[in-house]
A and B are shown apart, each in its own frame.
Chain A
């Protein structure tokens, strides 16, 4: 079944249509069909569908006749690499991919693991069209309707016509035969078709906020969607599939905390009073693991080309970090599996869902649009005010604080994009992002430098560590200092650019507050902050 990427898949109203086409083809060429084989196909991807987004597919095919399962990578251009057997672990991190897959997949996957996404089982009959010389000119693959494993629905059956290279003319003639017999060319085949059939929608967006909703309802719905995200990332975090699950989990926690802090006054005070410490607990619970993940990710670039150190010198450091990360991970898992977490999850969902319903009747109090615009304006003013007070002499704390405020602004922008004019958010998000990047580097390099210092102190106290290792760590700390200094130098410039482009032009035009939201505004969702 190789090279199907270059073929066409024809589907018909009834399964019998394919047989009719085969009969028709047999009058012009020799048709040779093999045995029907029950085949299980599993598509693999990252949890956030990175392969799907690049138009790629990674598929394991296992025939029930006992042949070894094969692994096939189909590129965005339809090019196919089939490699003998499937030797992937599940989940499989990029570092343990087979050599032949690495150059093509590593840049796409980043740190994400590959997991099974959809699995279908069905009968497949392979065959070919031969010309008068007995030469194969078109490959045929008859896929009978297949079922989605562990789900409802199925993939429709059909016929693949895959002309061999140099036989496009024959391929076109065979396609005309299929068309005359009433088949149509499927526009969605392979992985995207399987996703659709399984009811998985990787392009699905969080439902856009309706500006006319009562503010309390809108905020509760938003918090429900953040809780959904936490729950979606929970399993992968507990199983430590890849480090992005924890990251996603934390982003959802942070978004929730910001929403409760900045918009909580539209919710019942008891809900806020109960939720706030719970969310803080989750933030604290997840911080040590995430910090170590980030440091470990950053380590190769920090240690490459150290001037005084040998490669082996930093190994004790890496070992120590990996050990600490494992400890932090088990503490995290204990927390996520605890009764406390389960109580939080259930109660938080119950109280939010109780607030998220709306019968459409007018309520007292502001709408989502009014609250959104008001809080955005406040958040923006806060960023501008605190940012403009920062001078070269300001303590680091002032920049760290500004980073938090900028994050809050960004979250609000994302939450309330639909209530802003289409042009408003998009242009300024770029400047805001650039500002956040500088502040992020500033704080992260400081935090990492502190971590390196603390580690060095511990390692020395424990003895057995070589001087070379400590010196190498000193060099790493110095590099982090350079990073921090240079981000501080860039700060003034970035802030200046941000201040020149206000996030929200509408805020000064309250007359337009009640303007009906346009579709364009509703879909102009800016890149989501992580």
Chain B
């Protein structure tokens, strides 16, 4: 299955520990399993996604070679153990951006321009974003087609989300589609249940495909693999499948 043109999805939230990396890794895997040529770009210097794919975060030559123009984005990409799924490791991406972001005034289209040459090579690019409000995040908003936001069941997270939606609305030029889903839902808790059931009704951009709180998701760190690989029939795996189908509907809808 092929999409028309390369699609960029950013897993994004300025808050830490809400499930961005878990989402990015599992969706990237599911995309590649569909036969889509997929690149997962680990933008977080902590390198969690890089670790999960067993890739060493250190890149030969590191930032220095990039500054000297000796290495390009293309050179740093690593094949993962899975067909059609490649990874841009953390170290590389971080230094690259770090340098560029310092040396320019408001280079908010930096990531977009770095991705553009990969158009013929990938059908999907998934960005795993660091939790911050830096220039990097503005870059991300400019670079992606879908801004996918995990929301944990807490009132505060809705407020930050509304601010994000306002920010994107007020942004000049090309805008991504903002899509949020409820992350780490513990259905045993009444407050979680209500949050997960009501928010999609109150906010059009929040989809009903929630990701439950499951130990098997935490296990990714031990298994060092996406959930559908080691627990293909788990509810966590099927929830990520449903979320991926929903994300894809963004571009199949607009084509119709």
Contact = CB atoms under 8 A, between A and B. Distances in A.
Interface of A: 2-3, 82-84, 99-100, 128, 131, 133-136, 164-167
Contact of A164 (B1, B56, B76, B78): B78
A165 B79 contact: yes
B53 A135 contact: yes
Interface in B16-34: none
Contacts of B54: 131, 133-135
23 contacts: A2-B83, A2-B84, A82-B83, A84-B35, A99-B2, A100-B1, A128-B81, A133-B55, A133-B224, A134-B54, A134-B224, A135-B53, A135-B54, A135-B55, A135-B81, A136-B80, A136-B81, A164-B79, A164-B80, A164-B81, A165-B77, A166-B76, A166-B78
A83 B79 contact: no
A131 B54 CA distance: 9
B78 A165 contact: yes
A134 B56 CA distance: 11
A167 B78 contact: yes
Contacts of B84: 2
A525 to B, nearest CB: 38
Contacts of B86: 165-166
Interface string B44-60: 00000000011110000
A374 B83 CA distance: 64
B2 A100 contact: yes
Given A136-B81, A165-B86, 9 more contacts: A99-B2, A128-B81, A131-B54, A135-B53, A135-B54, A136-B79, A164-B81, A165-B77, A165-B78
Contacts of B2: 99-100
A165 B74 CA distance: 10
B18 to A, nearest CB: 27
A166 B79 contact: yes
Nearest to B60: A169
Contacts of B53: 135
Interface string B64-102: 000000000000111111011010000000000000000
Contacts, number: 40
B83 A167 contact: no
A165 B88 CA distance: 11
Nearest to A137: B79
Contacts of A167: 78-79
Nearest to B225: A134
The 3 closest A-B pairs by CB, nearest first: A164-B79, A135-B54, A166-B78
A297 B56 CA distance: 57
A82 B35 contact: yes
Which has the most chain B C-beta neighbours within 10 Å: A82, A135, A164?
A135
A167 B83 CA distance: 15
A133 B35 contact: no
A131 B53 CA distance: 12
Nearest to A128: B81
Contacts of A128: 81
Nearest to A138: B79
Contacts of B78: 164-167
Contacts of A3: 83
Contacts of A165: 77-79, 86
B68 to A, nearest CB: 20
B35 A83 contact: yes
A276 B77 CA distance: 68
Nearest to B83: A2
A84 B36 CA distance: 11
A133 B50 CA distance: 12
A34 to B, nearest CB: 13
Nearest to B88: A166
Contacts of A131: 54
A41 B69 CA distance: 45
A166 B71 CA distance: 12
Nearest to A100: B2
B77 A133 contact: no
A166 B77 contact: yes
Contacts of A100: 1-2
B79 A133 contact: no
Contacts of A83: 35
Nearest to B87: A166
Contacts of B77: 165-166
A145 B84 CA distance: 29
Contacts of A2: 83-84
Contacts of B1: 100
Contacts of B83: 2-3, 82
A74 B6 CA distance: 21
B255 to A, nearest CB: 13
A133 B56 contact: yes
Contacts of A99: 2
B167 to A, nearest CB: 35
Nearest to A135: B54
B147 to A, nearest CB: 28
Interface in B157-186: none
A390 to B, nearest CB: 51
B30 to A, nearest CB: 15
Nearest to B56: A133
A497 to B, nearest CB: 42
Contacts of B79: 136, 164-167
Contacts of A84: 35
Nearest to B59: A166
A131 to B, nearest CB: 8
A138 to B, nearest CB: 10
Nearest to A81: B35
Nearest to A103: B2
A100 B4 CA distance: 11
Contacts of A133: 54-56, 224
A288 B205 CA distance: 63
B233 to A, nearest CB: 19
Contacts of B81: 128, 135-136, 164
A100 B37 CA distance: 13
Interface in B113-128: none
A523 to B, nearest CB: 38
A82 to B, nearest CB: 7
A134 B83 CA distance: 17
A76 B25 CA distance: 32
A151 to B, nearest CB: 32
A83 to B, nearest CB: 6
Interface string B140-155: 0000000000000000
Nearest to B82: A136
